[in-house]
Amino acid sequence: MNYRQLGNTDIRVSEVSFGTWAIGGSWGTNNDAESLKALRYAIDRGVNFFDTADVYGDGHSEELLAEATRGLRDRVYIATKFCRQGDIHDPETYSKERVREYCEASLKRLERDFIDLYQIHCPPIDIIKEGSVFTVLDDIQKEGKIKHYGVSVETVEEGLLCLEHSNVKSLQVIFNVFRQKPLEELFDQAKQRGVGIIVRLPLASGLLTNKFSLDHQFEEDDHRSFNENGESFNVGETFAGLGFKKGVQLAQQLEWIAEGRGNMARASLRWILDQPEVTCVIPGFKNQQQVEENLQAIETPSFSQDELRKMNDFYHEHVKEHIRGAY
């Protein structure tokens, strides 16, 4: 396993880490025994960082992490998120009293004394601009309940605004072969300010595995069946903002990136890891096999400069115009 510094903090995290949305809920059928087996396997392989949120399975993914990491407080870092259990547009959701309640509830589920990285969970841009939530987090930090804090954002503009606050230590962004805009400005600005970059949805909700046919049907409780067009939350969180069929077609045109790299998933993760500003990538998983597959990206060959230019051209000429939603 390779490890990278999380911005200018004292935390070094595994470059391939994992997100736990899928084992919490809204990604179809789950099996807790399989989830725990996968978590423990990842830890045994050197993964030392997991991302979760209080709304993933209404706290269930936090509870699973508590069970899997019991006794490993000093070996495994956990990042969780808050605000989406309330009305994200209501300033009261970000008050000191409410944030403390969210934080203490997560601590209880995680069975920890403090949270390594506490993140605002995709707040509206007005909340970021108003800025008082950052003062609240400073206070919660002084109380010892959190070690560092960051923000999970939907857009480049939101990310740039967050960078104006000196105690923001990380940005979590949607970034993948289909969604390259953060490369244009955000990544460089974050690096200059010593802010870590955590990449979520690296495989565009599975599109970049290139395993779907145009007529694929997702389970009813899988968000990919009910949020394709942003019906429940930001459309960018599903298929990188591309419609499903368009995404499948585009993935088929990118099959060449798998040559010499095993498959498209490994190649897509490798492309992200080759970006020097990226701290870690956090693909999801449901079982040990998926964890193992994602970890293969560590040994996957990097792309040549010619290949990188080709992928950049493909994004600008064929993908960018089809991305919907805030970006």
As annotated, the active-site residues are 56
Question: CB of 126 within 8 A of CB of 326?
Answer: no
**140 — phi, psi (to 5°)?**
-65, -35
Where do we find the tokens 């809920």? 25
Q: What is the residue type of 248?
A: V
Torsion sign (Cα): 317, 318, 323, 327: negative
Where do we find the tokens 């979760």? 52
Q: Measured between alpha carbons, how far is residue 124 from residues 93, 96, 236 in Å? A: 12, 18, 14
The token duo for 191 is: 């690096």
Distance CA 124, CA 83 (A): 11
How many beta carbons lie within 10 A of that of residue 66, not counting itself? 16
Sheet holding 115-121, edge to edge: 18-19, 49-51, 77-82, 115-121, 146-152, 168-174, 196-200, 280-281
> 320 — alpha (psi -120 to 50), left (phi > 0) or beta?
alpha
